[in-house]
Structures are given as structure tokens and as C-alpha cells.
Amino acid sequence: MTAIDTKIRTLDTGEKIATNDPGEFLKAKRLPIHTATGDLSVGPIGHLAQERRRLDNLTWDNFEVTRYGATIGAELHGIDLRVDLSDDVIAEIHQALLDYKVLFFRDQPITSAQHVAFAKRFGDLEIHPFIPGNEDLPELVRFEKSADVAGYENGWHSDVTWRECPSKGAVLHAIQVPPTGGDTLFCDMYAAYEGLSEELKERIETMVAVHDYSQAFGHQLDEEAQKEMRIKYPMVEHPVVRTHHETGRKLLYVNHFFVSHLKDLSPEESDMLMEKLCRQATILEYQCRFRWTPDSVVFWDNRAVQHYAASDYWPDVRIMERASIIGERPY
């Protein structure tokens, strides 16, 4: 990197002070910072600008929005999820989901039946085989955390990528929230893909990842149950770079929760590449963070984002219910 033409001037007090901001010449570049792994740099993440501007220009007929992250997340105002919304409103919410990738709704005291009814407007719902459901409505997965049941969803992942057809969206309703903590973070996986070097993009273009439910859910099953579930849910292969079925955009589609390895690589190569790829989700500029309040509802595009439920509230109680909409086979 060429040196910045910064002058050092001397104040009346004798203190030395630079004439230029150190970021002045970084508009289109990043500054590498020395670390053991050599992959830290600071400076603008310029590739976000185009999508951010696109989102700046969107307007909606049926709701107002408050944006959260640069390219991800919007709170929708003026929608009541308890009522049977018109097809027009549902179509606009669907479009907003594709654009903002995750939608937030506050103060929505919906019943479980209303929750299911809203989610069903976007497709059929799946039943999760490894997490208990709502007693009356098994389409709702229930996360009921307390001093005895720990939150362990605190790793970056998309849901159920171990399925042949992972869910395309999820609607999560907060029934009880802890006084502090328990936020959910979301990462824009289009931005994560676009932030890779051209060389790395080329390397992973046709690569395949093997997904396995037992990585995160195997520990709770005895040998017999594991055998039965393995027959029902064999390991599945999905592309590392997925094309979104509706937007046509490419996104990074690997996560540590469910990917056991990258196909046709040695275990060492696979581990190293997975580390590099999964680290993309941890880049703060690609993320937004949601602070729950009771009866908030969050709707995410499970293809376009990964999420991370902060597990910082134990031993307090946090109760959520989630409906997941059946998706397509990734390509």
C-alpha cells in the first residue's frame, strides 16, 4: 500500500498532530493489519453500497419501514398479524422479505393459531423432528429455555440445511423474553458471498458441502434413534454457493452447525476452507441485531440469511415459537 501523504504539524503546546485522517485514502481499499493468520484488514466494505442504495429507494403501499443493517433487516409498521391480511398485503410483505431478508414486527399478541395462519400464507409448514413442538400445533417448534434448558442456538446457521429441501422462511414469535439478553443476530449471506475475493469465489463456484443433522442434534438421540433418523434423514449435498430461487442472486450456503465437510477435499483442506467461509457470517457490517420485546415477530428468509441466537440470559426464561415454511432443493 502506498504511504499516505500525511504531514505532522506541531501544536503551540509542542504536541505533534497529523494533518489527515488515516482513513482518507482507503475509499476503495482496505488496510491490512498484522495478525497470525494474516487475514485482518480494516476500511470500507465498499461492495455493500449498491445494495444499500437500492434498499434506500424502496417504497411500500401497505407499511412504513425502519431499516436496521446496511443491507439487511427492516421493521414494518402498520401491519396487524392477527387479522386475515389481503393478498395484496401478503404479496408486499413477501417482496419486502426478499429485499430486506429479515422483517421485524413489534407488539403482535398473536395466538398460536394466528401464528400458523400467517406463516401458511407463504407456503406449507414443516414439522421439526428434533425440537419439541407446541402441544396443539406441531407445526410450531417451541424453544422454551430456562435454568434447566439451555439456549444452544448461538452459532451462525440457517435452519434445517440437513434436509433435502431446507425451509425457505421462518416466522418466530416471542412469547416470553428475558429482561436482558437473548437477542437474535442475522447475517446477509449475499453480502458474505460478494465479499469474498474473486479467486476464492472461483474456487468454490462448483463446490459441494455435505450436511448432517447429527452435528447439532445427534447428541440427544440414543443409538437406536440415531439409526432410525439416519434412514429418514441421510446426509445431503448442497452447493456451497447457492442461487436464490426467487431473486436469482448467489449467496454463501455453508454453516458449522450442519456441514460435516466439503466434498472432494481432504479433511484438513475442508476444515480450513470451512473456517474461512463460515467466518464471513461474523463480519459485523453484513449483520443486524434484533432486541426482542414480548410479542415481537421476526420473519426471515432462511435461504438468504444466517442467524445466531445469543445465549447470554441463562438462567432466565426465554420462550419462542417458530413456524418454518417448506423450501426448495438448493441449486
The one-letter amino acid code at 264 reads D
Question: Is residue 81 a contact point for ligand SIN (CB under 6 A)?
Answer: no
Please give the C-alpha separations between residue 186 and each of 68, 98, 118, 297, in angstroms, as whole numbers. 10, 14, 22, 14
With CB under 6 A as the contact rule, the residue among 255, 288, 322, 327 that binds ligand SIN is 322
**6 contacts: CB under 8 Å, gap ≥ 6:** 18, 19, 20, 22
157 is catalytic: yes
Is the bond preceding 330 in cis, omega lying within 30 degrees of 0?
A: no
187, 36, 41, 283 alpha-carbon torsion, rounded to 10°:
10
Q: Which is nearer to ligand SIN, 262 or 297 (CB)?
A: 297
Question: Is residue 161 a contact point for ligand SIN (CB under 6 A)?
Answer: no
Q: Which is nearer to ligand SIN, 155 or 239 (CB)?
A: 155
Instruction: Single out the catalytic residue among 128, 238, 242, 307.
Output: 307
With CB under 6 A as the contact rule, the residue among 63, 130, 143, 314 that binds ligand SIN is 143
Instruction: Single out the catalytic residue among 159, 188, 212, 301.
Output: 159
Q: In the Cβ-directed half-sphere of 270, how many Cα atoms lie within 13 Å?
A: 17
Give the x/- contact pattern for ligand SIN in 164-193, rule: CB under 6 A. --------x-----------x---------
Question: Is residue 128 a contact point for ligand SIN (CB under 6 A)?
Answer: no
Strand partners of residue 289: 185
Rg of the Cα trace of the chain?
A: 22
Instruction: Single out the catalytic residue among 128, 157, 173, 303.
Output: 157
Question: Is residue 72 a contact point for ligand SIN (CB under 6 A)?
Answer: no
From 51, 50, 81, 55, select the one nearest 66 (Cα to Cα): 55
3-state secondary structure of 312: coil
**Least distance CB 290 / ligand SIN (angstroms):** 8
Please give the C-alpha separations between residue 140 and each of 4, 113, 116, in angstroms, as whole numbers. 57, 10, 7
**Least distance CB 41 / ligand SIN (angstroms):** 30
**Least distance CB 155 / ligand SIN (angstroms):** 9
Question: Is residue 160 a contact point for ligand SIN (CB under 6 A)?
Answer: no
Q: Footprint of ligand SIN on this chain (CB under 6 A)? A: 143, 153, 159, 172, 184, 307, 309, 320, 322
Residues annotated as catalytic are 157, 159, 307, 322
